[in-house]
Structure 1
Amino acid sequence: MIIKLPRSDRSLYDYELGRHEPVRLAQGSFQSRTAFSAAHVVCDPWADSDPLNQAKIDMEATLAYRRRLWSLGFAVAEAMDTAQRGMGLGWDGAKELIRHSIAEAKAVGGHVASGAGTDHLAVRPGLTLEQVEAAYEEQVSYIEGLGGHIILMASRALAAVAKGPDDYERVYGRILSQVSRPVILHWLGDMFDPALAGYWGHKDVDAAMQVCLNIIRSNADKIDGIKISLLDADKEIVMRRQLPPNVRMYTGDDFNYPELIKGDEAGYSHALLGIFDAIAPVASKALTALDEGRTDEYFGLMNKTLPLSRHIFQKPTYAYKTGVVFMAYLNGYQPHFRMIGGAEGARSAIHLAELFVLADEAGLLSDPELAAKRMNLILTLSGMN
């Protein structure tokens, strides 16, 4: 099968599909690593509302995608940045999503952890630490009231109001003292969200890490683990080796996850990754191989996905959600390529065409004929064929 794809020099070339067999896996059963997929949301294209400020979620299609992830062995990280949290999805929409997702997880035996943050709190002059704490408390209380597991998200409001490390230690200490079960902390680098620059009270990553580690050590019985997304494998390994024994590292490094999950002589990382949403079949098969000691197969599968992941997460990194949703569209998991906030326009057609090729090469186009048809539709709408 041949499809004409565009290059950045405004030319077209013939790309041959079918040279790479799609990876197929009916049931995930890996055990040695806990792997959360931060899952995307499906926008309701029939909703007659402002797509920038009042976009609606197609809840059934959104939950169907989570059922797919659970069937492949993944846990779901709900209402995170992959779901456009704070980037189109507000707290009111997140509450509805979290409620439905927790209920669905209970019904099918899946595991879900949900993001609790402060995104309903406007960042404005005069904001206080007490208001940040109250905002965290409101969201934590809502999720725990549903029987949910907390991912304590980084806070734009806290980043804006905190005067130094002591303020972070105060806020996190207060919230962690109240939770009913251990939480996953969430350190998101400013490449994912520029408003989080200088988190933990330092722009220097090493100094910030020590503040975070102090908070973890002081509250170790209330912390299941920490997910860091710094796109720096060396920094993650340094931090991983300093964690208390009962606290897990969850890699959020979408550039270096194969080696970090495999680990070294001093330990390994579990995972909480946005890219798992897009590469779930291959990643599930790879993690099963790792369970069974087939390391070469593990790396063979995972490393095939790295060019795709690095492409999806290229700068501006926060636009990666567009590529994740495009993958779901190509593979027929949703009937359209519409996103909350109109984010389908955050990447160029050239970028999407390259994504198409890298997905095929990684064995991630489950139905190449359908994927080619949908790629052609996007190119037609872009004026390229």
Structure 2
Amino acid sequence: MKIFVGIILLLNVWLWADTEIPYSAETISQFKGLRNSLLESLRNKKSDEVVSTIHYIKEMAPDEFAIDNLEMLQIYLLIERYDLAVDLWLGEYEKCGENVQYSFATDSLLKYLDANMNLEDSSVVKEVLEKSALSVVDKEQKSLYEILLKMRNFFEIRNKFNVMHIKAYDRPTGTYVDKLANRYEGVSLSDPVSGKLLLENRVRGWSHYYADETPECVAKLIASLKEFEQWFPHSKYLPWIKNEQKRFEELLEKYWKLRNYYKEKLYTGGIGVEGWYSNGNWEIGIPIQFWRFLIVPTVDLDDGNWIFIFGFDLFEMKHLKIVPFAGLWDPYVAGMQTEFRLWLEKYPDSKFGGAAYLSLKVRYMMKYGELENDGKKGLAHLFYAGIGFHFW
């Protein structure tokens, strides 16, 4: 019977989302009273009363209207019922990126929870997960908390207030203030009943770049997920474990590919600017490379003469590049240059895929042409030191 009632209520939530609340005013008034009782029990540290009140609320409203899963998670963590919190935490991460329901209330209970267990704060998340992993006795749950601890930086839990507000610049004060988002304008936060259901993306997932995790950390997480599967082959959490293992393996593959993006850039080309110095003379070149072939228009800043140098990318690796070249015009040139990459961008541009690097260069060049003031043709051997900034 309870299952049937639950299904009906959930259908009501779906049908009435963003239109009106699927509970009567009398029922909502009961929810308010129960939430107030819950707050008092929390403040008085009466854990058993807290748990029983939550169970009673969920019997009345199996959905997340009266009390949402985030609030329940915060409450169980506050009373240190980590055995009840673990399923809720996994559930939040499992629904990452989905629009889920927040409770109807913006009341003293919500403010108390956000003040005392703000899971939007990464330092709070780290601290409570470490404490949970140390406190639980059950080996399976301990292993789960250790996994959650390792993957915490890939998720961000968003509380109700920040979901409903945006940062807006306030001209009179010259500061950024919290402003109610346009879609919630007209909704009074002083009235706990907004007049419509609040469905938002409660958990965001971060890529490895924003999570600021190394490939080694991701590899350790994958190892922990595999160990869990070996230690608890009949666990009810196994589908979630396998799904996360697959997801993070794909993430790690992309991560390594991104970290080693230069491998796909080798011998491919690009454009840059380089400066050369030799015997008190400066030259500026614009290297343009197509696959292995380079053309470098180069101007001598001393006499303004141009040389068009044509090179071939003979050998290239992450920090080293060797290019033999020859030049046409007057004078004729030929030689070899070696490039040492001192700095490369950590990641390529996410939109265009390009990346920049800075290099130190040395060059041997043989020149033949009118090199002397008397206009006679001659041969000169020159050594250059240079620096270049490139995009590839």
TM-score by length of 2: 0.24
Structure with the larger RCO, 1 or 2 (CA within 8 Å, 6+ apart): 1
More strand as a share of residues: 2
More helix as a share of residues: 1
